[in-house]
């Protein structure tokens, strides 16, 4: 009897241990993977959000650092064995982009070849299926073992009807591994845009179907073609932006060399009568094809110095990379201007005509106006957008002929309304930008990629919506267009624009 009593506690204790062991095994095999899979899902969602910031960064005008957290730090549970923290890698994949076009308004060819990098982010998970995230040409994609999709919250930022912005990204590394990887984005060359015509852009891509479908929707099926892993798009007229960046997991030196690559004349043959003056403009671009401000351009009369002179002899390029000189007609005949900047040079032909009898300035009858405003970003601190403005005004007389040599004032204004639309009460207005220039021989005044700061008024005055208006006036004649999209939400100073860059067209 005593032996049975001694055995019973031992058997009971063994049974209890067996039950506990069975319970712990069940937790380890069934519940722990589900719990730790949730940790991986949170990490995956966070990482996707971080990668999705890359397009936004590449539309900014300043260098920045993006930290990618590829590691999963599993929750530790007593008596259970959790996997060690995981890591991942970032790989930079070379891709080629070629541009063949003509500088707008000229017969000058614009041919560029770029090498850029797609950015592949590959985290490693124990329980979730394998997946990667890819940045390419302003879009972000998620790829799994049996699925592929563009990230829906990140619209591609590269291709629009009248504007193409392809960030050129070059890495100092091919692959970086770790749990937390900082990507240092250094802006080497800010782009103010080059107006082009008859444009063909071919880009190598890892997502042929997406870009084929997307570009067809924007430019039409007949303007897009596919060959292997390359997609080519044809556009009649656009402004091309190619901001150039260096990216590295290490701190990038700010002494990245930017060099003058080319001088592009913005005039064809310059015609001027003897005793008159005509403008001649050039734009200086760097090795990335972007306008280069602050570069000294020298000009001389290479041939025909008795027929024409030019002034000033040297000039620094403005923020659009342009320099405008003036040709003075001396005697009827031909001359050639030679422009130099760094190791680049270009020539422009001048034809001096016999002195013409002055004719009365025609009466201005109408102004044709077109333009666009691209909003690049919004600051919730200053309630303002950064943007760039393009505008073209053409002045005509009563017979429909262009009027040259008359001043035209182009103004960008913000109109504030108390109610929901242009049909309600105007609360206030504020001038964003104004410029007065003289029409050229074609009766045209152009503004190209002028940097503007579009600030929203803070109440008072109270308002619900804000609309931008572009106007041009000359000799008492005014033409204006107001866009139909508010740039402020119903609470006033909060941005109503959610994706960048966002372009407003007039009309």
Q: Where in the chain are all domains bearing CATH 2.60.40.10? A: 260-353
> In the 8-state DSSP scheme, what is residue 27?
I
Q: Rounded distance, CA 215 to CA 210, Å? A: 8
Three-state SS for 45? Answer: helix
Tokens of 423: 């049909």
Confidence of residue 107 (pLDDT cuts 50, 70, 90): confident
Please state which of the ranges 299-313, 349-363, 443-457 shows the lowest mean pLDDT: 349-363
> What's the Cα-to-Cα distance from 405 to each of 116, 275, 438, rounded to whole Å?
44, 16, 5
Q: What share of the chain in percent tops pLDDT 70?
A: 85
What tens digit of pLDDT does each residue of 255-287 get? 567 889 889 888 778 888 888 888 898 989 888
Determine the topology of domain 364-506 in CATH. Answer: Immunoglobulin-like (2.60.40)
Res 422 pLDDT > 50: no
Res 83 pLDDT > 70: no
Q: Rounded distance, CA 372 to CA 449, Å? A: 9
Residues 177, 234: contact at Cβ < 8 Å? no
Res 309 pLDDT > 50: yes
Q: Please, what is the average pLDDT of the chain?
A: 83
Task: Identify the H or E element spanning 117.
Answer: strand 109-123
Residues 47, 70: contact at Cβ < 8 Å? yes
Q: Rounded distance, CA 456 to CA 380, Å? A: 10
- Tokens 């015609």 belong to 271
Confidence of residue 357 (pLDDT cuts 50, 70, 90): very low
Determine the topology of domain 260-353 in CATH. Answer: Immunoglobulin-like (2.60.40)
Q: Kindly report whether the global pTM for this prediction surpasses the value 0.85.
A: no
What tens digit of pLDDT does each residue of 215-268 get? 999 999 999 999 999 999 999 888 898 888 889 888 765 556 788 988 988 877
For position 421, what pLDDT does the model report? Answer: 46
Reading phi first (left if > 0) and then psi (alpha if -120 to 50, else beta), residue 44 is in: alpha
DSSP count for the chain of H helices, then E strands: 4, 31
Res 26 pLDDT > 60: no
Three-state SS for 13? Answer: helix
Res 308 pLDDT > 50: yes
């Amino acid at each position: 009897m005593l032996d049975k009593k001694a055995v019973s506690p031992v058997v009971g204790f063994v049974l209890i241990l067996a039950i506990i062991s069975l319970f712990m095994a069940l937790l380890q095999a069934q519940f722990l993977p589900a719990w730790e899979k949730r940790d991986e899902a949170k990490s995956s969602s966070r990482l996707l959000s971080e990668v999705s910031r890359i397009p936004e960064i590449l539309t900014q005008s300043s260098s920045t650092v993006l930290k990618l957290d590829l590691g999963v730090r599993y929750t530790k549970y007593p008596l259970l064995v959790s996997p060690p923290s995981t890591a991942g890698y970032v790989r930079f994949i070379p891709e080629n982009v070629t541009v063949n076009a003509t500088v707008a308004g000229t017969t000058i060819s614009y041919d560029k070849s770029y090498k850029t990098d797609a950015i592949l982010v590959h985290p490693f998970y124990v329980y979730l299926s394998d997946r990667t995230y890819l940045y390419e040409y302003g879009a972000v994609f998620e790829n799994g073992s049996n699925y592929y999709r563009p990230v829906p919250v990140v619209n591609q930022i590269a291709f629009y009807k009248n504007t193409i912005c392809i960030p050129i990204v070059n890495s100092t590394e091919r692959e970086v591994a770790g749990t937390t990887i900082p990507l240092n984005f250094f802006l080497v060359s800010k782009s103010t845009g080059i107006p082009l015509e008859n444009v063909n852009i071919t880009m190598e891509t890892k997502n042929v179907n997406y870009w084929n479908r997307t570009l067809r929707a924007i430019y039409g099926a007949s303007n897009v073609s596919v060959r292997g892993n390359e997609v080519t798009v044809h556009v009649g007229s656009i402004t091309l932006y190619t901001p150039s960046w260096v990216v590295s997991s290490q701190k990038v030196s700010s002494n990245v060399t930017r060099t003058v690559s080319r001088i592009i004349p913005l005039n064809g043959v310059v015609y001027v009568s003897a005793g008159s003056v005509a403008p001649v403009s050039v734009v200086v671009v760097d090795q990335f094809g972007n306008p280069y401000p602050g570069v000294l351009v020298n000009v001389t009369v290479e041939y025909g110095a008795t027929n024409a002179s030019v002034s000033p002899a040297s000039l620094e390029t403005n923020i659009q990379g342009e320099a405008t000189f003036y040709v003075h007609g001396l005697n009827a005949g031909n001359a050639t201007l030679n422009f130099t900047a760094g190791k680049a040079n270009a020539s422009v032909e001048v034809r001096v005509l016999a002195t013409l009898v002055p004719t009365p300035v025609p009466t201005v009858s109408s102004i044709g106006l077109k333009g666009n405003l691209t909003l690049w970003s919004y600051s919730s601190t200053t309630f303002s957008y950064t943007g760039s403005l393009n505008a073209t005004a053409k002045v005509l007389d009563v017979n429909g002929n262009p009027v040259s040599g008359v001043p035209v004032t182009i103004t960008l204004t913000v109109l504030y309304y108390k109610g929901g639309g242009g049909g309600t009460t105007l609360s206030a207005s504020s001038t964003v930008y104004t410029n007065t220039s003289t029409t050229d021989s074609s009766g045209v005044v152009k503004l190209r990629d002028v940097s503007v700061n579009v600030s929203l008024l803070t109440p008072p005055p109270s308002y619900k919506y804000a609309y931008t208006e572009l106007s041009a006036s000359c000799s008492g004649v005014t033409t204006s267009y107001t866009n139909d999209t508010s740039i402020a939400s119903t609470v006033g100073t909060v941005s109503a624009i959610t994706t960048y860059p966002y372009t407003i067209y007039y009309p």
